[in-house]
């Protein structure tokens, strides 16, 4: 009886250890599935929306800042599977996102109400669409699109009512990070990789890299499609706030090469005007940021650190707090 009792205790303990290890493995696996985690604030700053990729699936989640609760978007037809890059309309009544179709290997633009109903496909281009976001009047959605065999994309818009697709600019881009639109619907802003930079020349000024990418903040005039590069740096993540740009970036050197001024910033949060001038530092307290998003009122900045933790900074008070997502809830949504 004595031996059986201890055997039972040991057996139960072993089961608990195995279950805990499995749960920890699941959470570790989950943390690895934030490859391009780039949440977006609702325009009132009360919610964050983002996609999470796990077990070769992707779903849209919404985080309520007050209740600190997560919500997953689902539908009975499974349209909301393999979905990416969600973004709110200015009144937070609608959400646009990208859906990936495995059968064709294409990505198309969709829209739905903010409660996850009335899902509508807006593009049927049989191409690859990326980073959709609303115009300020919520009548159009801007997005990047490219052919499956090409590495560069162009910027387009689609009218929500008519589904008419219009080319915005003939210029091609490699990567659009943190795209957005000014309050007057005049300019589209995002960061891209600068192919003309002599990477090795700039890298010689850094001790931690032999070769680095130089980024640029791009401004597209929606009316005529003209493109200008307003600032150069590294790891730039711009956000439009009241027709100014708040961005994350590095600042190490100022160097002129081929008549271009490359500014590599200390890892900090900066603000510039829409033409790239009048720079000021908003926050530079030992930052370790992988992703970065600012609320539309410019008050809060959400970011993911390289160690997989999430934080929100009050850019006025300079207070920083950690945000903890319910990972058990997230895993449950993918295992259903």
The residue ranges of every structural domain in the chain are 1-32, 33-335
Q: How far is CA 130 from CA 44, 89, 177, 191, 303, in A?
A: 24, 16, 11, 14, 21
Name the class of domain 33-335. Answer: mainly beta
Query: What token pair was written down for 128?
Result: 């690859």
φ, ψ at 201 (rounded to 5°): -65, -40
**pLDDT value for 8:** 54
**pLDDT value for 29:** 45
**pLDDT value for 233:** 78
Q: How far is CA 38 from CA 2, 164, 174, in A?
A: 57, 28, 18
The alpha-helical segments, DSSP class H, found in 153-240 are 199-203
**pLDDT value for 307:** 75
The contacts of residue 169 (CB under 8 Å, 6+ apart) are: 154, 155, 220, 225, 226, 227
Residue owning tokens 């309309």: 89
Residue owning tokens 């510039």: 272
The residues of the chain scoring below 70 in pLDDT are 1-37, 197-213, 250-266, 286-287
**pLDDT value for 238:** 92
Q: How far is CA 126 from CA 107, 117, 147, in A?
A: 8, 24, 8
**pLDDT value for 30:** 45
**pLDDT value for 37:** 63
**pLDDT value for 172:** 93
180 burial type by CB count under 10 A (0-12 exposed, 13-18 middle, 19+ buried): buried
The contacts of residue 111 (CB under 8 Å, 6+ apart) are: 94, 95, 96, 97, 119, 120, 122, 141, 160
């Amino acid at each position: 009886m004595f031996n059986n009792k201890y055997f039972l205790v040991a057996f139960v303990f072993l089961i608990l250890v195995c279950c805990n290890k499995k749960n920890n493995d699941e959470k570790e696996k989950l943390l690895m599935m934030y490859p391009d985690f780039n949440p977006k604030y609702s325009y009132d700053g009360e919610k964050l929306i983002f996609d999470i990729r796990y077990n070769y699936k992707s779903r849209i989640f919404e985080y309520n800042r007050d209740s600190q609760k997560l919500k997953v978007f689902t539908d009975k037809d499974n349209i909301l599977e393999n979905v990416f890059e969600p973004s709110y309309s200015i009144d937070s009544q609608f959400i646009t996102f990208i859906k990936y179709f495995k059968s064709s290997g294409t990505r198309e633009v969709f829209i739905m109400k903010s409660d996850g109903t009335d899902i509508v496909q807006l593009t049927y281009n049989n191409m690859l669409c990326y980073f959709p976001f609303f115009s300020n009047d919520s009548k159009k959605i801007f997005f990047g699109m490219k052919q499956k065999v090409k590495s560069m994309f162009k910027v387009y818009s689609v009218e929500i009512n008519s589904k008419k697709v219009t080319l915005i600019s003939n210029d091609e881009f490699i990567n659009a990070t943190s795209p957005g639109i000014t309050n007057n619907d005049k300019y589209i802003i995002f960061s891209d990789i600068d192919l003309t930079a002599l990477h090795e020349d700039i890298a010689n000024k850094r001790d931690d890299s032999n070769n680095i990418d130089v980024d640029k903040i791009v401004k597209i005039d929606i009316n005529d499609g003209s493109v200008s590069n307003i600032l150069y740096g590294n790891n730039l993540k711009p956000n439009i706030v009241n027709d100014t740009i708040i961005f994350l970036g590095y600042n190490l050197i100022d160097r002129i090469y081929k008549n271009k001024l490359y500014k590599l910033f200390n890892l900090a949060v900066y603000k510039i005007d829409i033409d790239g001038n009048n720079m000021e530092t908003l926050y530079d307290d030992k930052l370790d940021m992988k992703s970065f998003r600012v609320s539309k009122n410019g008050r809060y900045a959400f970011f993911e650190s390289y160690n997989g933790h999430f934080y929100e900074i009050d850019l006025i008070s300079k207070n920083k707090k950690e945000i903890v997502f319910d990972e058990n809830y997230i895993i449950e949504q993918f295992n259903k």
